[in-house]
């Protein structure tokens, strides 16, 4: 199964024909209009849907055609619009990287939703294995899938509150990207007949992100037999959350830390959020335990995973909860526990996989503590109970956002705003990250289907 990206093909055709027409090698300019449109339609049919980015750029292409045809001889204006079109191509072309990463394990990916009720009210997206044969076709049909942003423009507004300076309009099309998981599909027969047990994984999101922000990595884990519970935390760190803990419901958007408003230091503020997140997690574990009575879920293999603030949450889960057996922490944001870590009072004694990026260029969060020093101290203390099978890896030439899916759609925009290094291949970074994570789980017998390669072998190859 291959998801085809149409951007390179489309813009190659469009710009080449622009050049030919402007040099009068092709007299009928309408032919230039027709060819890109044909490419869009054909590739759109192959992919199951016409991609919104291409439609936007085709509209600009159409304007170019109208100006050229109606105002004969205005080549300067036509060239200006062509340049604008090329700039948009450069900005948007990386969105196709998301579709180049698909599950490589034996199972497809299905999806359902749950809303937890109680002291806190987090939303949960549940991803589980399905038969790969129907997945190959059904995952390409928009009526059988959901958008990646389950809350649409509300998520965009929350994200842009964190990435200050990026207007929501620039990311509006993010709402239209489909999630390559089939809604409410049947669980794969391997797990229905109980020949294999599902490995439960709890995924916690970063600040201003949401429950589907690590979907590409989650997709890979599910394809190897995990059932993954991605939680939308109710502590105000999600891009958007509908709080129904009291009568009625209240919309809550991500709110950045403000010392004057919150009247506490950053680490104390984050500590409060971690404590609130643990209430969400406890409610979710009870939910999973109930599901385990009906589904073949192996609760003895519960894994905590997260990114950024979610990684710190996964570490806290692993330390505090007996039910959690291993930890996957992707570029942890240690602020809430930095002081304890540096004093040697905070560590874990269970298998862990820490994947850090080389730095946080442009991050509005990292200035409140020494990241590398804190990470090194945490690893040192945690390894005192034995370091066999533990991993602390750093991805060179990468920044914090590189391991989240959002970087796959907007890497050029993020490079423009200084959030990603110019030389980074985000698709390659995410691909390596998720392969390493699955290999770690397999190495610790935490997946029912073994990855073909162990972490050390992947590292040697890379």
CA angle 346, 349, 352 (to 5 degrees): 100
d(CA 14, CA 16): 6
Lateral strand order in the sheet of 303-307 = 182-183, 108-115, 123-130, 226-232, 199-204, 303-307, 326-330, 352-359, 391-399
For 366-384, what is each residue's pLDDT tens digit? Answer: 556 888 889 999 999 999 8
What's the CATH number where 219 sits? 3.40.50.1820
Range with the lowest mean pLDDT among 26-35, 265-274, 421-430? 26-35
Same domain, 383 and 415: yes
Q: What is the mean pLDDT of residues 447-458?
A: 70
Higher pLDDT, 121 or 53: 121
Q: Is the dihedral of CA 424, 430, 435, 441 positive or negative?
A: positive
Residue 179 lies in a domain: yes
Residue 32 lies in a domain: yes
Same domain, 92 and 109: no
Same domain, 236 and 273: yes
d(CA 433, CA 330): 9
Q: Which among 52, 79, 97 is the end of a domain?
A: 97
At 110 the three-state DSSP class reads: strand
pLDDT category at 428 given cuts 50, 70, 90 is confident
Q: What is the mean pLDDT of residues 69-79?
A: 54
Which residue(s) pair with 228 in the sheet? 127, 201
Name the token pair of 337: 């526990």
Which residue(s) pair with 124 in the sheet? 114, 231
Same domain, 151 and 205: yes
Q: Which among 53, 70, 97 is the end of a domain?
A: 97
Give the 3-state DSSP-derived string for 343-354, with helices as H, strands as E and coil as C: CCCCCCCCCEEE
Same domain, 118 and 228: yes
Q: Which domain holds residue 31?
A: 7-97
Residue 234 lies in a domain: yes
Percent of the chain residues past pLDDT 90, beyond the cut: 41
For 346-365, what is each residue's pLDDT tens digit? Answer: 999 999 999 988 765 444 45
Residue 246 lies in a domain: yes
Same domain, 346 and 386: yes
Residue 2 lies in a domain: no
pLDDT value, residue 456: 63
Same domain, 73 and 179: no
pLDDT value, residue 138: 93
Angle between helices 426-443 and 215-222 (to 10 degrees): 40
Same domain, 297 and 239: yes
Residue 199 lies in a domain: yes
Evaluate if residue 283 carries a pLDDT over 90: yes
Residue 1 lies in a domain: no
Domain count, the chain: 2
End-to-end alpha carbon distance in the chain: 24
Same domain, 307 and 251: yes
Q: What is the mean pLDDT of residues 204-226?
A: 94
Looking up tokens 């928009």 gives 142
Q: What is the mean pLDDT of residues 389-409?
A: 81
Q: What is the mean pLDDT of residues 178-182?
A: 90
Residue 299 lies in a domain: yes
Same domain, 203 and 286: yes
Q: Which of 89, 95, 91 is nearest to 61 (CA)?
A: 89
Averaged pLDDT score across all residues of the chain: 79
Same domain, 171 and 52: no
At 424 the three-state DSSP class reads: coil
Q: Which among 51, 77, 97 is the end of a domain?
A: 97
Same domain, 397 and 254: yes
Distance from chain centroid for Cα 21? 41
Q: Which of 205, 216, 227, 214 is nearest to 122 (CA)?
A: 205
Burial (CB count within 10 angstroms: exposed 0-12, middle 13-18, buried 19+), residue 229: buried
């Amino acid at each position: 199964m291959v998801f085809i990206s149409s951007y390179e093909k489309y813009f190659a055709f469009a710009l080449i024909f622009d050049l030919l027409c402007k040099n009068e090698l092709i007299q009928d300019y309408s032919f230039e209009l027709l060819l890109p449109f044909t490419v869009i339609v054909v590739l759109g049919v192959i992919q199951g849907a016409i991609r919104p980015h291409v439609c936007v750029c085709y509209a600009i292409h159409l304007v170019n055609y109208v100006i050229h045809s109606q105002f004969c001889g205005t080549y300067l204006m036509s060239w200006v619009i062509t340049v604008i079109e090329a700039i948009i191509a450069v900005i948007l072309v990386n969105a196709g990287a998301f579709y180049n990463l698909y599950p490589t394990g034996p199972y497809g990916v299905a999806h359902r939703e749950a809303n937890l009720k109680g002291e806190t009210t987090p939303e949960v997206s549940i991803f589980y294995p399905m038969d790969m044969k129907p997945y190959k076709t059904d995952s390409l049909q928009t009526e059988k899938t959901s958008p990646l942003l389950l809350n649409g423009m509300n998520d965009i507004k929350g994200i842009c509150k964190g990435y200050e300076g990026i207007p929501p309009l620039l990311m509006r099309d993010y709402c239209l990207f489909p999630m390559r998981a089939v809604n409410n599909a049947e669980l794969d027969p391997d797990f229905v007949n109980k020949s294999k047990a599902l490995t439960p994984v709890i995924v916690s999101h970063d600040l201003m992100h949401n429950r589907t922000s690590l979907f590409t990595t989650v997709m890979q884990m599910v394809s190897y037999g995990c059932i993954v519970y991605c939680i939308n935390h109710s502590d105000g760190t999600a891009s958007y959350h509908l709080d129904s803990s009291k009568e009625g419901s209240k919309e809550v958007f991500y709110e950045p830390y403000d010392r004057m408003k919150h009247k506490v230091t950053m680490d104390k503020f984050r500590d409060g959020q971690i404590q609130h997140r643990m209430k969400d997690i406890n409610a979710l574990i009870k939910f999973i335990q109930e599901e385990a009575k009906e589904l073949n879920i192996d609760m003895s293999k519960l894994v905590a995973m997260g990114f950024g603030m979610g990684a710190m949450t996964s570490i806290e889960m692993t330390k505090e909860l007996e039910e959690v057996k291993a930890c996957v922490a992707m570029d942890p944001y240690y602020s809430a526990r930095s002081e304890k870590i540096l004093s040697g009072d905070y560590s874990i004694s269970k298998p862990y996989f820490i994947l850090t990026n080389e730095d946080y260029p442009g991050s509005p969060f990292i200035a409140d503590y020494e990241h590398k020093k804190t990470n090194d101290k945490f690893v040192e203390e945690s390894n005192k109970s034995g370091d066999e099978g533990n991993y602390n890896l750093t991805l060179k030439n990468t920044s914090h956002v590189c391991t989240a899916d959002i970087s796959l759609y907007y890497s050029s925009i993020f490079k423009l705003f200084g959030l990603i290094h110019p030389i980074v291949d985000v698709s390659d970074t995410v691909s390596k990250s998720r392969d390493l994570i699955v290999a770690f789980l397999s190495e610790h017998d935490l997946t029912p289907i073994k990855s073909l390669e162990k972490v050390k072998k992947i590292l040697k190859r890379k």
